[in-house]
Amino acid sequence: MIPWFTAAHPFTPADGDRWIDYVKWSGLTQLQEVVSLDGMLCPTLLPEIKDDYWPHIVQEDFMLNYFLDFDYLMAQVATIEKKNVLCVFRNPVERPQAPPVAQFRFLGYDLVDLQDTASALTNCGGFPDVFGKRLVNRSS
């Protein structure tokens, strides 16, 4: 499995009313932060695909916000103080091992649509017949 990397805006209680409204709507009261590929909750920090990104990004389907080169991504977001840098494995068959490029902590899985606009786990109103809210961890 080849790791992909992306950088996203954090979504935490520091987001004020947006956070309060989200927790009220979702019912995910246990959350301390949303760490997700969901572009509505945690938008990418690099929404514009610059010409010099092309040799460094995944060029598959609509996956243009994922970098194959960790160091290149980190150089692009170096001046951004508040960020979540995520290591992503697409459709893993088993729990993936973090690459040695940085100290990544496994937080769990996400299930997003092809354009990374919504997570079925954190932004679709839930699927109570499939999984309960208690299965979404505190940093989801």
Which residue, 21, 31, 27, is CA-closest to 132? Answer: 27
Read off the tokens for 40: 């509505």
Query: How confident is the model at residue 139, as a pLDDT?
Result: 55
Alpha-carbon gap, residue 37 to 132, rounded angstroms:
20
Query: How confident is the model at residue 137, as a pLDDT?
Result: 57
Q: How many domains does the chain have?
A: 1
Asked whether residue 21 carries a pLDDT value surpassing 70, the answer given is: yes
- When comparing pLDDT for 83 and 120, which is higher? 83
Which residue, 41, 59, 37, 44, is CA-closest to 113? Answer: 37
Go through 65-84 and write b for each residue having 16 or more CB atoms within 10 A of its CB, e for each that does not: bbbeebeebbebbeeeeeeb
- Please give the residue range of the domain that contains residue 88: 1-140
- Measured between its terminal Cα atoms, the distance across the chain in Å is 22
pLDDT in tens, 42-95: 999 999 999 999 999 998 877 788 999 999 999 999 999 999 999 988 888 888
pTM summary value: 0.82
Query: Per-residue confidence at 10, pLDDT binned at 50, 70, 90?
Result: very high
Query: How confident is the model at residue 127, as a pLDDT?
Result: 55
Asked whether residue 129 carries a pLDDT value surpassing 80, the answer given is: no
